[in-house]
Each structure stands twice: as structure tokens, then as C-alpha cells.
Amino acid sequence: MSVNTIINGAIYAIVGVIVLFYLYANLVPEAQAAGDDLNESGVPLGNLFVSGGFVFILVMVGLLLVIVRLAMPKGK
């Protein structure tokens, strides 16, 4: 494996993490506010979509798994 390939992989991983965090920071607060509104309207199972609800915990775990996958070395 050449040094150039390693550097390219590191740059792609860093850019990927930055894009993921940027998307997360812009999209999740709006979705959480919509989830709070949904819960207040009395929709069944609306509490799954509140700010600390199950859906957003899954989103955070998914983001963490993607970041770990980007940080892991590539197999053969």
C-alpha cells in the first residue's frame, strides 16, 4: 500500500466525517422540533420522535457507526 493511497483515504475519511456532522447539525434540530410538535398533537407513538426519543438515539448510533467504519483500516 503506497503512502499516496493512505493519504487519499485519510482525506476522504476526514471530509466524510465533516460532511456527516454538518448534515447532522443542520437536519436533526429541525427534525427534533417536528417530533416535539408531533408528540404534542397526540399522535400515537409520537413520543418516539421527541428530542430524546428512540428514533434520534438510533440516528446518533448510526452516525457513530459510520464514523467508526471510516476510521477502520480497509481489509483485503
Report pLDDT for 37: 92
Burial of residue 17 (number of CB atoms within 10 Å: 0-12, 13-18, 19+): middle
Per-residue pLDDT of the chain (76 residues), as tens digits, is: 688 888 888 898 889 889 988 988 898 888 889 889 988 998 888 888 888 888 888 988 998 898 888 778 776 6
Report pLDDT for 40: 92
Is 49 in contact with 38 (CB distance < 8 Å)?
A: yes
Report pLDDT for 41: 92
Report pLDDT for 76: 60
SS3 state at 43 = coil
